[in-house]
Chain A
């Protein structure tokens, strides 16, 4: 059913001339917005630009704001986590350069998303929630370095899956999609680094990429973060069967998305008042 709908969407030649025009003009309008977006500092897009996007633009804009506010919530969580850790002194001196860089990126993502939501899409950026990084007293990330690293890995791997899960929901805006993809790969770089660091420290035996759906030595509470990562089938084809490459390696070669509900279920553990 979805595929039939998809076909109708991407094949305007199956519809009336009017629909075809609308399809291309709408797509083109977003594309121009996208090109424009790349050149601007993202501070000052006139409202008129958005108003000039024809047809369903307003609904799409509301939807984009919703997705970006969801992303902003996660970026708030990550930024606050790293800032508190850097302030606490829990991070070993030699590794601070890594987490300062990650913190800088998360703060930049917070500011960037606030800017896009508030000054480009003319929405209201969500306020930073109150976080409880002990998850109700279960973790001590700011006094135990191994715990800090474990949760950092959990947040980064979750972030990668969260952005991936939203790509299709922002694709009508080239500028928002491209920005989301450009954040997504940065989160993946963070995840790779933190995962390998944990292994170097002897806390785990994992690689920069996710093998099967393994949580490694992380607490069982993180199972939801890796559930589904063992998938071998893409576009209907089992790539391990296709290639003869072992399932572990094929599972590593593709990261899987999570839905907003799944991610908020995970992040909810760290929201104050939910425990």
Chain B
């Protein structure tokens, strides 16, 4: 049942769980150990080539977030290489440059946090996006950012760990800031930044479940994602 854990401080190879936790504050290694503590019977299933399995429990949810961050990071990496970006206004260059860094930072964070439990790199398919077209790029960015917010909002209830819930909360509000900015670039000065298409009469933003999110994402991802072990 032991999984390799990331050991940023090279601390914990065979450390007893409690002993280690007494040594200090939550570290990535500690986070990994949290998984080990409960993982008697939820080993990741062997997967077929070209397919990734997100796994179960909090690991599964973090892999789900990691998958979405991979998608977003890959998208903005393409954006800043494209001709829309090269010719974009100063404001839009700053925004797209920031979003590329933020999403790359999120992706690398989850990869490190998950350690050996992390899924591999997803193969993306952006053939439906025209990276020379402002409209095409902004519409795709809107889709990704809104999807990310709805995914985090929908997944929060399944996280058992308060620490991971807080980390997800720290990220989701930034995704929402992104989403609002992209929407305002598409329709400046309007109410679209928080439009009725995603916010209901109670003032609540929509949530999407795992199936809805991964179905939407599958238009841009070639790798098959097995999320059958995620909590429900």
Contacts and interface: CB of A to CB of B under 8 A. Distances in A.
Interface of A: 3-4, 6-7, 10-11, 13-14, 31, 34, 42, 94-95, 97-98, 100-102, 104-109, 111-112, 160, 163-164, 167-168, 171, 174, 177-179, 181-193, 196, 207-209, 234-237, 239, 242-243, 245-246, 249-250, 252-257
B173 A184 contact: yes
Contacts of A208: 95, 177-178, 180-181
A104 B175 CA distance: 22
18 contacts: A4-B18, A4-B22, A6-B162, A10-B38, A108-B201, A108-B202, A174-B157, A178-B156, A181-B156, A182-B205, A182-B206, A184-B173, A186-B203, A243-B104, A249-B98, A255-B169, A255-B173, A255-B174
A263 to B, nearest CB: 15
A171 B161 CA distance: 10
Contact of B181 (A105, A196, A255): A196
Contact of A97 (B22, B108, B174, B191): B191
A186 B194 contact: yes
Interface stretch (B24-32, B74-82, B222-230): B24-32
Contacts of A167: 156, 162, 165-166, 169
A231 B22 CA distance: 24
Interface of B: 8, 17-18, 21-22, 25-31, 34, 37-38, 40, 58, 94-95, 98, 101-106, 108-109, 112-113, 149, 152-154, 156-157, 159-163, 165-167, 169-181, 184, 189-191, 193-194, 199, 201-207
A168 B193 CA distance: 27
B170 A236 contact: no
A13 B181 CA distance: 45
Given A167-B156, A243-B109, 17 more contacts: A3-B26, A6-B162, A10-B38, A13-B38, A97-B189, A101-B194, A109-B202, A168-B165, A183-B205, A186-B205, A188-B177, A193-B180, A193-B181, A209-B178, A236-B29, A237-B109, A242-B109
A18 B180 CA distance: 48
Given A3-B30, A185-B153, A191 B101 contact: no
Contact of B157 (A34, A108, A111): A34
Closest 9 CB pairs of A and B: A236-B27, A108-B203, A188-B176, A168-B162, A192-B177, A101-B191, A253-B102, A182-B204, A188-B173
Contacts of A192: 176-178, 180-181, 193
Contacts of B31: 235-236
Contacts of B112: 237, 242
Given A189-B194, A236-B28, A207 B98 contact: yes
Contact of A181 (B8, B104, B152, B177): B152
Contacts of B113: 235, 237
Interface of A is mostly: helix
A49 to B, nearest CB: 17
A242 B108 contact: yes
A149 to B, nearest CB: 14
Contacts of A101: 191, 194
A234 B109 contact: yes
